[in-house]
Chains A and B, each alone.
Chain A
Amino acid sequence: MGSLSGLLWIAAETLGADQGALDATANNIANQNTPGYSREIPVLSEADPTVAGNVTYGNGVTLQQIQSVRDQVLQIQIAEQNQQQGSAQAQYNSLQQVQSLFSDPTQGIGADFTAFFNSLSQLSTDPANMADRQAVLTAAQSLVSDFHSTEQNLDSIQSGLNQSVGQDVTQVNSLTQQIAKLNVQVGEMQKLGQDPGTLADQETELIQQLSQLTNVNQIQTENGLTLTTGNGTPLVVGGQSFALQTTSGSGGMTDISFEGQDITSSLKGGQLGGNLQIRDTVIPGVLGQLDNLASQFAAGFNAAHASGYDLNGNAGQAFFSDAAGAGAAGKLSVAISDPSLIAASSDGSAGSNGNVANLLAVQSQALPSGETPIDTYAGFVSSTGNLTSQAKAEVTASTASLNQLNNQLGSISGVNLDEETTNLLNYQRAYEAAARVVTTVDALTQSVLDMGSGVTSAP
C-alpha cells in the first residue's frame, strides 16, 4: 500500500537523482574543452518496487553512479599513434635541417668539387699561369671550408638533439611521477567498483603525453596500470615510478640508463626515440660518409699530385693534409699555400700540363668507396632527401590516422553542447516536477492533519 511518506521519499530521491544528473551535465559543460576529458553520464535506474497484494508500487529512481564514457581500446590505439607521430615529427624536424646542408646544387661541397676541378682544367690550358694556379688553391680552399662547415653544422644539429634528449628524459620522469600518483587513486577506486572519473581522464591524458615522448606498453593489473618502455624497462608500477637516468657517454652524447644499465639503443618511438634515431644513427652515418669522402678524395688527389712536378721541377708534395678516420672532414686542409707548388707538370718542365690530366682523373674515377666524388656527394642528397620525404610522409599518415582515432574517440567521449543543453532542460523539468510532487504531498499531509483537528479544510 502506498503512503504519503513513501511519496515524499520518492520525490526526495528524484530531486537527488536529478541534482546528480544536473551535476554531471554541468561538469560536462564546464570541461567541454579540457583535453582528455570524457563526458559523464548519470546512470539512473528504477528502485525496487513494493508489492502489496495485487498491486506493485514503483519506488522511484536511484542514481547509481556518474559514469565516464570512455573506450580503452581506442585510447591504447591513440597512444600507439601518438608515439609514431611523435617519432616521425621529431625525425622530420631534424632531417629538414640535415637536408638543407645538401639542398642547393649551386653551393656546397658538390658545387665546390666541380669548381675545383674546373680550376684545374683551366690550368691545363696555361699550366705556368700564376693566376690560374692561385685559382686552383682558392677553389681547394672553398672545398675544404665547405667540408668543415658541413661537418660543423651536422655536429651542431647533433648536439641540439642531444639537448632535446636530455629534456625529453626529464619530461618522461616528471610524467611517470604524476602518473604513479594518480595510478594509486584510480586503482583503489576501481577495486571498490567506483568510477575513477576525472582522475582516470587525467591519467589517460598523461599517458598520451608520455606516448608522444616514447613507446609505452600498458598492462592493466589489480593495482592499476603498469607502464613499461618498449623493451620492458618499468616506468610505473602501481604507485611507484622509476626514473630514467642520464649519463654522459661517448662523444659528449647523453646516454640513458636504468639502474645502471645503458638502455639508450632500446628506446624507440615517440619524440625521444625519433631524436635518438637521428642523433645516434642518421647523423653519425652522414658524418662517417662525409669523413670517408674527405679522406679518400684527399688521398686519391695526393697520389695523383705526387706523380707530377711543380713549377720548380720538384716532385709534387701532398696537396691536402693527411686526414683520416673520424672527423676527417673537419680536419681536411690544403697543405700548400704557394701556387707554384701545384704539380701540373709531368716531366719537370714548367710549361707541361701532363699531370693535370692525372689530377682531373680523380674527378671521374671511383674512390675506394665505389663512386666518384660528385656521385658520393649526390648520394648524400639522395639519402637525406629520401629520409626526409619518408619522415614527412610518416608525419602526414600518422597525423591523419591520429585525427581519425581522435574523431572516433570524440564521437564516444566528447562533450556535445547541444546534447548537454537538451539534458539540462530535461533534468530541470524533471526536478521541477519532483518539487511539485513534494508540494502536493505537503498539501495532502495538511489535509490529513486538518482531518484530525475537526476543521474541514476548504475544498
Chain B
Amino acid sequence: MRINPNFTPNLLDDLWQEESRAQNDMQELATGRRVNVPSDDPSAATADVQNQALQGQNDQYLQNTTNLEGMLQTADSTLSSVVTALNQAISLGVQGGNGGLSAAQQQAIAQQVEGIQSQVVQLANVSYQGSYIFGGTATQSPPFALDPTQSSGVSYSGNTGVNTVEISQGETMQVNLPGSQVFQGAGGNVMGCLQQLVTALQSGNADGIAAATTQVTNALSYLSQQRIFFGSAVSQLTDNQSFLQKEQVSLQTQDNALVGADLAQAATDLAQAQTAQTAALEAIAQALPQSLLNYLK
C-alpha cells in the first residue's frame, strides 16, 4: 500500500501539539490557575467573575465592620464616662440634700453639679473622625450646647435621623442613636434632671434636691439601657467579623475549585508532555535520514 511519503508535516504537527500542551501546563504551574483566559473554561471563568465580586464585597463588609467598631466603641466608652459623671452627680445630690448645710455650701455643690452638666454636654458632643456621634444624622456640628433659656439647660441642634449600614450580604444594622433619644429621652432626661438638680441646690429646697436626685438616678438607669444598644452592636460586629472571615475562606475555596490549577496534576502533565515531545523529536531525527540512497554505492 502506498503511504504519504511526505510525513514531516504530521510529525511537526504532533511536535507542536506537545509543545503547546507543555506550555499550557507551564502556565498553569506559573500562575497557579487552570483558567487563564475565558476560553480555557468559559463557565468557570464566568463564575469566577461573580466569585471575585463577592470576595470584593466581603472584603468591604469586613472593612465596614472595622470602621463601625471604632465608632461604636467610642460611643460606648463616652456613655461610660457619662455614667460616671451621673453617679458623681447623685452623690453630690445626696450630699446637698443632707440637712445642716449652709447656703454657701449648697451653692458650692450646685457649682460642682454645673461642672458635671457641662462635662456631660462635652461628652455628648463627642466626635469620631470628624462626625458628631450623637447628632442623629446632623453630624457636622456639635449637637448640644448649654442654653440657660431652655428648661433642660441645654439646646439640641441635632436631628432624630438614624443610619443603617450593610454589614454582610443582605444584612443591615442601625449604627447610631440620636442624642435627643440618649440624653433627652422620655424615659430619662439626663440633661433636664441635671439642670433640675442645679436649680434645686441653688434654691436650697431639701425636698426639691431629693426629688431631683431621684430623677438623676432614673436618668442613669435609662442611660444604661441606651448604652446596651452600643454594647450589643459591638458584639454583633464581632460575630459578623468572624462570619465574614469564614465566608471569605469559603469563597476562596470555591474560587480555587473553579479556576485553581491542580498543581500535582499540572506537574505530571508537564512531565508527560515533555516526554512525548522528546519522543516526537527522536522520531523525526530517526525517520528523516531513511532513504534507499543510503544503501546505493
Residues of chain B in range 120-154 having any CB-CB distance to chain A below 8 Å: 129-132, 135-140
Interface residue ranges of A211-265 to B (CB < 8 Å): none
- Interface 1/0 per residue, A404-422 and B, CB below 8 Å: 0011111110111111011
A100-B37, A351-B161 as given contacts; A421 in contact with B136, CB under 8 Å: no
Does B94 have its Cβ within 8 Å of any Cβ on chain A?
Answer: no
Task: Place the interface of chain B in its size category.
Answer: 35 or more
Complex interface: stretch among A107-115, A146-154, A183-191:
A107-115
Within the complex, the shortest CB–CB distance from A418 to chain B, in Å, comes to 4
**Cβ B166 vs Cβ A378 within 8 A:** no
Contact (A374, B140) CB under 8 Å given A121-B61, A382-B45, A411-B2: no
B101 contacts the other chain (CB 8 A): no
Q: For the complex, is B163 an interface residue (Cβ under 8 Å from A)? A: yes
B67 touches A411 (CB 8 A): no
A187 to B139, CA, bound (A): 94
Judge whether A353 and B165 touch: CB under 8 Å.
yes
Contact of B56 with A by CB under 8 A: yes
- Given contacts A124-B165, A350-B140, whether A118 and B56 have CB atoms under 8 Å apart is yes
Which chain B residues lie closer than 8 Å to A374 at the CB level?
49-50, 53
B99 within 8 A of A: no
A68 CB–B CB distance under 8 Å: no
Name the distance in Å between A350's Cβ and chain B's nearest Cβ: 5
Give every chain B residue within 8 A of A106 (Cβ-Cβ). Answer: 52
Q: Which residues of B contact A384 (CB under 8 A)?
A: 38-39
Q: A122-B60, A392-B39 are in contact. Are A351 and B135 (CB under 8 A)?
A: yes
Known: A121-B64, A126-B129, A412-B2. A352 touches B161 (CB 8 A): yes
- The 0/1 profile, CB within 8 Å of B marked 1, for residues 73-102 of chain A is 000000000000000000000011001101
Q: Which partner residue on chain A sits nearest B135 by CB separation?
A: A351
Q: Is A375's beta carbon under 8 Å from chain B? A: yes
Q: How far is the CB of B251 from chain A (nearest CB, A)?
A: 13
Min distance, Cβ B13 to any Cβ of chain A, angstroms = 6
State whether B166 touches A124 (Cβ < 8 A): yes
Q: How far is the CB of A132 from chain B (nearest CB, A)?
A: 9
B-facing residues in A369-397 (Cβ within 8 Å): 374-375, 377-379, 381-382, 384-386, 388-389, 392
Given known contacts A350-B139, A351-B139, A353-B165, A385 and B3 CB-to-CB distance under 8 angstroms: no
- Bound-state CA distance A372–B53 (Å) is 12
Is the pair B46, A378 in contact by a Cβ cutoff of 8 Å?
A: yes
Q: Give the chain A neighbours of B140 by CB distance below 8 A.
A: 128, 350-351
The verdict on A307 contacting chain B, using a C-beta distance below 8 Å, is no
Taking a contact as CB atoms closer than 8 A, the residue among A115, A347, A352, A381 that contacts B38 in the complex is A381
Does B59 count as interface, using CB distance less than 8 angstroms?
Answer: yes
Q: Are A411 and B63 in contact (CB under 8 A)?
A: no
Contact status A110-B53, CB under 8 Å: yes
Q: Is there an interface contact between A416 and B59, defined as CB atoms closer than 8 Å?
A: no
Instruction: Find chain B residues with CB under 8 A from A353 CB.
Output: 137, 163-165
Tell me whether A399 is interfacial, beta carbon within 8 Å. yes
Tell me the residues in window 31-63 of chain B with beta carbons closer than 8 Å to chain A beta carbons: 36-43, 45-53, 56-57, 59-61, 63
Contact B293 A403 (CB under 8 A): no
Nearest A residue to B66 via CB reads A125
- Asked whether, in the complex, the Cβ of B292 is within 8 Å of the Cβ of A385, the reply is no
CB-CB under 8 A for A124 and B9, given A118-B60, A385-B45: no
Which of these, B5, B131, B293, contacts A351 with CB under 8 Å? B131
**B276-297 contact mask (Cβ, 8 Å, vs A): 1 or 0:** 0000000000000001110010
Residues in B neighbouring A96, C-beta threshold 8 A: 37, 39
Residue of B nearest to A311 (CB): B140
User: Is B159 an interface residue when CB atoms closer than 8 A count as contact?
Assistant: yes
Q: Is A138 part of the binding interface, using a Cβ–Cβ cutoff of 8 Å?
A: no
**A2: chain B residues within 8 A (beta carbon):** none
| A445 interface residue (CB < 8 Å to B) | no
B102 at the interface (CB under 8 A from A): no
Contact of B5 among A110, A399, A403, A417 (CB under 8 A): A417
Known: A125-B165, A129-B131, A349-B137. A117 touches B39 (CB 8 A): no
State the CA gap A349–B161 with chains docked (Å). Answer: 9
The tally of residues in A whose CB lies under 8 Å from a CB in B reads 66
B169 CB, nearest partner CB in chain A, Å: 9
Contact A357 B2 (CB under 8 A): no
Which residues of B lie under 8 Å from residue A360 when comparing CB positions?
166
Q: Shortest distance in angstroms between A31's beta carbon and chain B's nearest beta carbon? A: 12
* Binary contact track B1-13/A, C-beta < 8 Å → 1, others 0: 1111110011001
Which of B3, B63, B292 is close to A122, meaning CB atoms less than 8 Å apart?
B63
Contact with A along B76-110 (1 / 0, CB 8 A): 00000000000000000000000000000000000
B263 interfacial by beta-carbon distance below 8 Å = no
CB distance from B16 to the nearest CB of A (A): 10
**B49 A110 Cβ-Cβ under 8 A:** yes
Query: Does residue B68 face the partner (Cβ distance < 8 Å to A)?
Result: yes
Complex-state Cα separation, A345 to B129, whole angstroms: 18
A354 at the interface (CB under 8 A from B): yes
Is B29 in the interface zone, CB < 8 Å from A?
no
User: Are A351 and B138 in contact (CB-based, < 8 A)?
Assistant: yes
Query: Are A352 and B37 neighbours in the complex by a CB distance under 8 Å?
Result: no
The docked-state distance in angstroms from the alpha carbon of A125 to that of B38 is 36
B166 touches A414 (CB 8 A): no
Contacts of A410 in B (CB 8 A): 3-6
Given A110-B52, A403-B10, are A417 and B38 also a contact pair (CB < 8 Å)? no
B164 close to A357 (CB less than 8 A): yes
Q: Is the CB of B116 closer than 8 A to any CB of chain A? A: no
Chain B residues 163 to 190 lying within 8 A of chain A, measured CB to CB, are: 163-166, 172, 175
Whether the Cβ atoms of A128 and B163 lie closer than 8 Å is no
A417 with B39: CB separation less than 8 A = no
CA distance A411 to B7 in the complex (A): 10
Complex interface: chain B residues within 8 A of A127 (CB): 137, 139, 163
Closest to A125 in B: B67
Q: Find chain B residues with CB under 8 A from A386 CB.
A: 38-39, 42
Point out the residue from A117, A126, A377 that lies within 8 Å of B49, measured CB to CB.
A377
The answer to whether A118 touches B59 (Cβ under 8 A) is yes
What residues of chain B have their CB less than 8 Å away from a CB belonging to chain A?
1-6, 9-10, 13, 36-43, 45-53, 56-57, 59-61, 63-64, 67-68, 71, 129-132, 135-140, 159, 161, 163-166, 172, 175, 291-293, 296
29 contacts between A and B (CB under 8 A): A32-B6, A96-B39, A99-B37, A113-B53, A118-B60, A121-B61, A121-B166, A124-B64, A125-B64, A125-B165, A126-B67, A126-B131, A128-B130, A129-B130, A347-B137, A347-B159, A349-B137, A351-B136, A351-B139, A352-B163, A374-B50, A377-B49, A381-B48, A385-B42, A386-B39, A386-B42, A408-B4, A415-B6, A418-B291
